[in-house]
Amino acid sequence: MKIKSLLLLSLLAITSLVNGQKKVKYKVGLSSAFGSEKEVPFWLQANKRGLVPDESYLMGDFSLGMDFNEKPEHAIDFMWQASAVTYTADESKIILDNLYISAKWKVIQFSLGQKADDIDFDGLSSTNGDILYSNNARSYPKYEISVPDWTDIPLLEGIVSFKALLSDGITTDDRYIDHALIHHKNLFIRLFKDKKFSVSGGIEHVAMWGGTHPVYGDISTSLDKYFKVFTGTGDEESDISNDSYRLGNHIGSFHLNAYCNTEKFSLQAYYRSIFEDGSGRKSENYPDGLYGLHYKNNKGKNPFIQSALIEFYHTTDQSGSKKGIIDGIKYRGVDNYFNHSEYKSGWTHYGRTIGSPLFTNGEVNGITAVINNRFKALHMGIKGFIGIIPYKTYLTFSKNYGTYYTPFESTKNQFSGMLEVRVPSKNIPFKIDLACAVDQGELLEDNVGLFIRLSKTGLFK
């Protein structure tokens, strides 16, 4: 990994020389969080890109980077970013956050390195609008080829547009199958994107495969195996030691969106399904998924409600509680979202769920896994201004049942909330962010916590 980091840093240096006219941006920060219990409350640690510890901490962060030009001066435009954090808590750590380079040619973008996903829905979503990726876990090294913006299809301009992504990366944490690879792709189609009303839909697919198994050793990553991963084909009945095994832990999601855009406001309604096998793909797990509505105020200065969002989760069906042949009938239930019989660390990275943080991570037999994937939840987020003071708030209510294999003895109700404000600081050379968060219920310890951050951004001249 050191060699790869040095190579990437060299590429960043070359890019800086090629784009010498660009300014290098920097951000530096100092933050701290603490709670009334040993761990800080849920919303002071979740969706933090896996960079903050569970317990009270003191942290410093630093980032450097260059953005794409608003109006590219060359056929190919470049950007890069490097960032890291260091904290002291029960233990002290230095963590590399982002280290990547991106190139853009026309509508196509290519990235190489360790890169966190962009924030959507004004940072109000509990899962960044994508049930499979939430910015809850630490990013992993990868390449990524994408068409990130809605792009018209030739001859169908104004009627049909699309976005797409293809990515392959590698996990870097200590897990049951070390150095597991992650394949990720999606394709979305939108109709009438420039009209007042429009709709879009598509599919997202991820697969965790390859790596070094503690019993069978290195798992083949040949082109033939990659093709099976890409297409999701193979023999589902055989095990990982068999060549014909349907390689890896496959997870998918269907996306549906409806948009309403006016001069005064914008609305987006969305649905994200979740499936891990044929029964889920055929919606035998209905009504499982994420349902959301996002409102954005397009008028006025410093409105009380600038952006608002509401999300509802339903993940308790999982194609039913029966699996196998029972009384001559074949059942395909007990999907066990984000867990896997061979990739026992599940859909996690560095001990945190890669998907929505409401899928609770923990340990099973000393191995990181998702211990609560059957829940119903209501999440609300609001962002706006109290006078001239920017604020953001989360309110999250959930009923949690554990998993089909290890259910909780009784339903665990949970509330987690947070209020964050930015203190007006015209006369001081840095920004001040304050937050208060609370947990109350049976899933997490009752807890109250505070957060403070001092930060400064600027340009190297």
Domain ranges of the chain: 2-460
Within 13 Å and on the Cβ side, how many CA atoms surround 151?
13
- Tell me if 273 sits within 8 A of 254, measured CB to CB: yes
Residues 245-268 have a mean pLDDT of 90
Residue 457 or residue 70, greater confidence = 457
**What is the predicted pLDDT for the residue at 81?**
94
Dump pLDDT digits (tens) for 329-347.
766 778 899 999 889 999 9
In 115-159 the beta strands, taken as DSSP E runs, fall at 141-152
With the C-alpha atoms ordered 125, 129, 131, 133, is the resulting torsion angle positive or negative?
negative
**What is the predicted pLDDT for the residue at 18?**
52
State the pLDDT confidence band at 158, using cuts at 50, 70 and 90.
Answer: confident
Minimum mean pLDDT range among 5-9, 146-150, 214-218, 389-393: 5-9
Residues 399-427 have a mean pLDDT of 94
- Tell me if 355 sits within 8 A of 346, measured CB to CB: no
Euclidean distance between CA atoms 59 and 84, whole angstroms: 11
Euclidean distance between CA atoms 315 and 295, whole angstroms: 24
* Nearest Cα to Cα of residue 356 among 379, 333, 334: 379
**What is the predicted pLDDT for the residue at 419?**
98
CATH superfamily, with its number, for domain 2-460: Capsule assembly protein Wzi (2.40.160.130)
Average pLDDT, the chain: 90
Residues 1-19 have a mean pLDDT of 52
142 membership: H or E segment, kind and range: strand 141-152
Q: Is the pLDDT of residue 242 over 50?
A: no
Euclidean distance between CA atoms 313 and 106, whole angstroms: 38
- Assigned token pair, 368: 């990181």
* Nearest Cα to Cα of residue 240 among 210, 266, 268, 265: 210
State the pLDDT confidence band at 246, using cuts at 50, 70 and 90.
Answer: low
Query: Could you give the percent of the chain with pLDDT greater than 90?
Result: 74
**What is the predicted pLDDT for the residue at 375?**
98
Tell me the residue length of the chain.
461
Give the amino acid at 386.
Answer: I
pTM passes above 0.75? yes
244: alpha, beta or left? (left if phi > 0; alpha if psi -120 to 50): alpha
Euclidean distance between CA atoms 378 and 398, whole angstroms: 6
Beta partners for residue 352, in sequence order: 349
Within 13 Å and on the Cβ side, how many CA atoms surround 46?
27
Dump pLDDT digits (tens) for 54-110.
999 999 999 999 998 877 777 899 999 999 999 999 999 999 999 999 999 999 999
**What is the predicted pLDDT for the residue at 429?**
87
Beta partners for residue 86, in sequence order: 60, 94
Q: Is the pLDDT of residue 361 over 50?
A: yes
DSSP secondary structure, 357-389, as one string = TTSEEEEETTEEEEEE--EEEEEEEEEEEETTE
- Tell me if 305 sits within 8 A of 299, measured CB to CB: no
Euclidean distance between CA atoms 335 and 186, whole angstroms: 22
Dump pLDDT digits (tens) for 278-299.
666 777 888 999 999 999 999 8
